[in-house]
Amino acid sequence: MATISHKAETMPASAIRKLVPFAETAKSEGIKVYHLNMGAPDIKSPQCALDAVKTNTLDHVSYSHSAGLLELRKGLVEKYYKPLGIEISVPELILCVAGSEALDIALQITCDDGDELIVMEPYYTNYNTFCFMNGITLKAVHTDIKTGFQVPPMEAFETLITPRTKAILVSNPGNPTGTLYSKEDMLALGEIARKHDLFLISDEVYREFCYTDEPYFSAMNIAGLEQNVILVDSVSKRYNLCGARIGCIISHNEAVMKAALKYAQSRLCPPVLGQLATIGALDTPQSYFKDVREEYIRRRDFTVDTLNRMPGVYSPLPMGAFYTVAEMPVDDADNFAKWLLTDFRIDGETTMVTPAMSFYSTPGCGVNQIRVAYILEVPELKKAMHILAEGLKTYPGRIR
C-alpha cells in the first residue's frame, strides 16, 4: 500500500479542533455544548453584504482576475483603507482566499525552506502549521500572562536572530491573547526589522476589535519601513463574513507583490461570490462596527470579571479581538477541557474551551492555561461560565 508523505504524516493536527470529536459525542448524547473554543462569532453579517449576494445579476460565475475583481480592490483601497489612514494603490493589494491564504503567501514569499520566523508566544496555532508546511522554523519570543502578554524587551527578539531569520510575524490585536500593541510597541518591532533587514508581517485581521480610545496603529504606517512591511488582512472577522473566504495581502514592496501575484495566478482566482459579498460590505455603516464593538466590550467585561472571581483563576483584561487566555488552577488544561466534554454536565449542558499549550513553543508553557472566545451573548456566556466555574470545583485534577 502506497504510504503518505512524511510531511503529511507528521503535520500537526489543529490543536483548536482536536477536542471536536469529544464535543460531537456529547452532542450525540443530547448534551448542549457552549462553544467558547472557536473564533466563530454569532453576530450577523452586515445587511449590505448579504443583499449584494442575493441581488447579484451574474448569469455565469466565471473566474475573476487572479488578484481579484478590480471593483473590490479599488473599493477596499478607497473606501476602507484610505479612511483608516492606510494609503495604498490598487497594485499593492491582492485579494486572497481569506487571511489564511494571505498568511501562507506572505510566509512563502519571505522564507525559504530552513529559514526562520520570529513570533511572540502564545500565538495562533496555524502560524505553526503554516511554518511546518513550508519548512520554516518558528522561533518564539515568550510573553507572560502576568504582564498581560505585553511585548518583552527588544533583547528577547535580538537574541533569537540568526542569519536565517527572515521575518517577524505579529498579530495585532493578538489571537489567542487579545493583546493590543501600542504604536510604541509596533515602532519597536519595526526598529528590529529595520536594523536586521527583516520583513515585518503584520496580521491585522482583528483591527476593528479594539477596546481603547487610542487610534489603531497599523504596521503599514511605520515610517521608513515601507519595503519591509507585509500586511495580512481579512474580511472574516471585520464583517462577520468568515465563510466568504476573502482576505488580502498588501505591501508597498514591488518584488513582494510581483511574487504574490505568481502565487495568486497558480490558484487562478479568489472566490467570486465572496468577493460580491465583500463589495457589498464596503458600504457597512460605522454604526455596525460601533455596535459590534460595544457588544464585545460587554462580553469581554463579563467574561474576564467572571474568570477572575473564580478562586485560583487569573485572566488579564485584553484590549482587542474576542479572546482571552486565562490561567486555571488545574494540573493540565488539556485534560480539564476534555473532562468538561466527557464527564461534566449541569442540566444536560457543558462548556468547551481551548487548552492553550499548543499556542506555545517553549516546553511546559501554557499547561494550565485556556483560551476563552467570548463569542456568545451575555446570557449564554453566563450559563457557559457558570458551568466552567462549577466544573473547576469538582475537576479531579484541580490544584488547591
Using the minimum distance from each CB to its own copies, give the nearer residue, 145 or 235. 235
328 neighbors 313 (Cβ within 8 angstroms): yes
Using the minimum distance from each CB to its own copies, give the nearer residue, 176 or 391. 176
**Least spacing, CB of residue 31 vs its own copies, in Å:** 19
* Cα distance between residue 389 and residue 306, in whole Å: 9
Tell me if 399 contacts its own copies by CB under 8 A: no
Which of 30, 83, 113, 347 is the binder for its own copies (CB under 8 A)? 113
* Cα distance between residue 213 and residue 390, in whole Å: 36
Residues touching its own copies: how many (CB under 8 A)? Answer: 84
248 neighbors 94 (Cβ within 8 angstroms): yes
362 neighbors 121 (Cβ within 8 angstroms): yes
Residues 189-228 that bind its own copies (CB under 8 A): 193, 197-199, 227-228
Using the minimum distance from each CB to its own copies, give the nearer residue, 94 or 109. 109
Tell me if 292 contacts its own copies by CB under 8 A: no
Which of 174, 271, 316, 318 is the binder for its own copies (CB under 8 A)? 271
Nearest Cα neighbor of 123 from 203, 187, 190, 183 is: 203
Site map 2..31 versus its own copies, x via CB under 8 A: xxxxxxxx-xxxx--x--------------
Tell me if 358 contacts its own copies by CB under 8 A: no
Site map 166..185 versus its own copies, x via CB under 8 A: xx------------------
**Least spacing, CB of residue 247 vs its own copies, in Å:** 11
Residue that is written with C-alpha cell 487566555 in the block: 325
Site map 42..81 versus its own copies, x via CB under 8 A: xxxx---xx--xxxx-xxxxxxx-x---------------
* Cα distance between residue 385 and residue 397, in whole Å: 19
Using the minimum distance from each CB to its own copies, give the nearer residue, 126 or 221. 126
129 sits in which H/E element? helix 125-133
Tell me if 245 contacts its own copies by CB under 8 A: yes
Give the CA angle between residues 375, 376, 377 to the nearest 5°.
130
Tell me if 361 contacts its own copies by CB under 8 A: no
Which of 22, 123, 130, 336 is the binder for its own copies (CB under 8 A)? 130
* Cα distance between residue 108 and residue 54, in whole Å: 36
Which of 26, 93, 94, 98 is the binder for its own copies (CB under 8 A)? 98
In order, the DSSP letters of 31-71 are -EEEE-SSS---PPPPHHHHHHHHT---S------TT--HH
Residues 318-347 that bind its own copies (CB under 8 A): none
Tell me if 389 contacts its own copies by CB under 8 A: no
Beta-carbon count within 10 A of 127 CB: 23
* Cα distance between residue 254 and residue 356, in whole Å: 38
Q: Which residues 6+ apart lie within 8 Å of 60 measured at CB?
A: none
| 121 grid coordinates | 508566544
Which of 89, 159, 265, 394 is the binder for its own copies (CB under 8 A)? 265
Tell me if 131 contacts its own copies by CB under 8 A: no
Using the minimum distance from each CB to its own copies, give the nearer residue, 182 or 253. 253
Torsion angles phi and psi, residue 48, rounded to 5: -65, -30
Which of 78, 87, 112, 305 is the binder for its own copies (CB under 8 A)? 112
First to last CA, the chain: 52
Tell me if 274 contacts its own copies by CB under 8 A: yes
